[in-house]
Amino acid sequence: MKHWKKTILTAFGVIFSAASLTAADKVSMGFIYVGPKDDYGYNQAHSEGCAGVQKLSWVKAVEEASVPETTAVQETMRNMINLDGVQVLFPTSFGYFDPHILKIAKQYPKVQFLHCGGLYTEGKNPKNVGSYFGYIDEAVFVSGIVAGHATKSGKLGFIAAKPIPQVLRNINAFALGARSANPSATVQVIFTGDWSVPVKEAESATSLINQGVDVLTCHVDSPKVILETAERRGIYVCGYHANGSKLAPKGYLTGAEWNWSKVYTDYAEMVKAGKSLSAGTIPHLVRGGLKEGFVKCSDYGPTVDSAAKKDAEAAKAMFMDGTMVIFKGPLKDNSGKEILPAGKELKQQDISLESMSWLVEGVIGSTKS
């Protein structure tokens, strides 16, 4: 019986290696998104990254969109591995990680699982899992500077999904950027409670505009309705995730965009060179900001004046040479409590930034849900 099973397994092995021979000269990558590819947001940014690596002649990439964070994503990962022969998987939604990636990664130790969001824990998670993320708050800070110059009422609006560290960091960076250009500016925050609730996002935009807000930005999965509402009401808007200038040709100032095609190309090259996570030749945690090319700023819209451009470019230059620190003392939260004393600063890599729970002075809103 045993020997019988072994023969079958060997036979499968032969077939499988024969099949993989033809694919061996190509790096095969699989991308999974939680929403549609054309959401002008999170998923579009990743899909553009996928399109970027697809241009390389030695890469074969498959993608699947609108995969929910249920057993459905486990099925998609298994299908990509078994049916499409994918060697490197990029399940991009934050909620895919635990339990789905962790479970499938254990079952397929030869496949590399790279997750966007940065949750990998050394020693606790399977060795073939890694994570990557970008310091997009750098680009948001630049948006803030431009917004601070553009506002006439001094009231900025920020529509956010949830009061979690990643989101709070962007709100604070936006406020600090804006107040560096216009010290009296305020940022009114509305939390919608979920990543993709277009109706609430539109209502929030309308309500903020009615309160006198004249520059909007956001951190939700798809900024589409917010961009459209701002444009229709004739106010300024800063994009997020992907370039949204098409949706707001008049009011678009600039925006914080991901540059995943650079990140994915780097990974593809590492895999092509025979490197892997399990062998430790691909780092388990990869991070980068403007300097590393992980994030970028949208081109300026038509209304951005030269003073704004000058300040924004100066900030960008400081990010590029590594001298800019966004979170530095003296820094107070919006209840007046001191967060950082003068002279102290939190560099981008500082781990305490990843558990941020406060809103800086000048932000109107509360993290309590």
Partner 1 sequence: MQPAASIAGAPSVALIPRASLRWRSRLEAAAMPIMAVLVAMVLFGSFCASQGRNPLAVFGAINKAAFGSWYSFQNTLIRAAPLMLTALCTALPARLGLVVIGNEGALVIGGLTATAAGLAVQSAPVLVVLTAMALAGMVGGGLWITFVGILYYKRGVNETISSLLLNYVAIAFLNHLVNGPMRDPSSLNKPSSYPIPDDKMLPAIGESNIHYGLVFGMVVCLIAWVLMEHTSFGFKVRMIGGNIRAARMAGLPVAAIGLIICFLAGAAAGLAGMIEVAAVHGRANESLAAGYGYAGILVAFVARHRGLAIMLVSVMLGGILASGGILQRQFQLPDATILVFQGLVFITILFSDSLYGKLKFFKEEAA
**What residue ranges bind partner 1 (CB under 8 A)?**
36-37, 62-72, 74-76, 78-80, 82-84, 94-95, 98-99, 117, 119, 162, 164-166, 193-194, 354-355, 369
Angle subtended by helix axes 306-320 and 137-150, to nearest 10: 160
Q: How far is the CB of 212 from partner 1 (least distance, A)?
A: 29
Closer residue to partner 1, CB minimum distance, 39 or 231: 39
Nearer to partner 1, 117 or 365 (CB): 117
Q: Which is nearer to partner 1, 121 or 211 (CB)?
A: 121
Query: Residue 13: helix, strand or coil by DSSP?
Result: helix
**Helices and strands, number each (H, E), in the chain:** 10, 17
Task: State which residue, 164 or 320, has the beta carbon closest to partner 1.
Answer: 164
∠ at Cα 196 (193, 201), nearest 5°? 70
Least gap, CB of 12 to partner 1 (angstroms): 13
Residue located via tokens 């045993």 = 2
Give the nearest distance from C-beta 280 to partner 1 in angstroms.
26
Question: Least CB distance from residue 319 to partner 1, whole Å?
Answer: 23
Nearer residue to partner 1 within complex by CB, 80 or 209: 80
State the nearest-atom distance from the C-beta of 121 to partner 1, in Å.
10
Inter-residue contact 202 to 223 (CB < 8 Å):
no
Which is nearest to 101 in space by CA: 18, 117, 263, 337? 117
Paired tokens of 362: 């000048």
- For residues 201, 203, 209, 214, the Cα torsion angle rounded to the nearest 10 degrees is 10
Token digits for 170? 């962007």
The CB-of-114 to partner 1 minimum distance in angstroms stands at 17
Q: Rounded to whole angstroms, how far apart are CA atoms 179 and 149?
A: 9
Least Cβ distance, residue 158 to partner 1 (angstroms): 18
Residue 325 Ramachandran class (φ > 0 left, ψ -120 to 50 alpha, else beta) = beta
Query: Which stretch of DSSP H or E encloses residue 130?
Result: strand 129-134
Q: Which is nearer to partner 1, 178 or 242 (CB)?
A: 242
Whole-angstrom distance, CA of residue 319 vs CA of residue 96: 31
Identify which of residues 70 and 153 has a Cβ nearer to partner 1 in the complex.
70
Question: Is residue 369 within 8 Å of 164, Cβ to Cβ?
Answer: no
DSSP track, 35-100: S-TTSSSHHHHHHHHHHHHHTSTTEEEEEE----SSHHHHHHHHHHHHTT--SEEEE-SGGGIIII
Nearest CA among 263, 231, 245 for reference residue 143? 245
Our CB check for partner 1 shows the closer of 61 and 142 to be: 61
**Minimum distance from residue 71 beta carbon to partner 1 (Å):** 5
**Which residue lies nearer to partner 1 by CB, 155 or 200?**
200
**Nearest approach, Cβ of residue 79 and partner 1 (Å):** 6
Q: How far apart are CA 78 and CA 113, in angstroms?
A: 12
Q: Which is nearer to partner 1, 179 or 200 (CB)?
A: 200
| Beta carbon of residue 77, minimum distance to partner 1 (angstroms, whole number) | 10
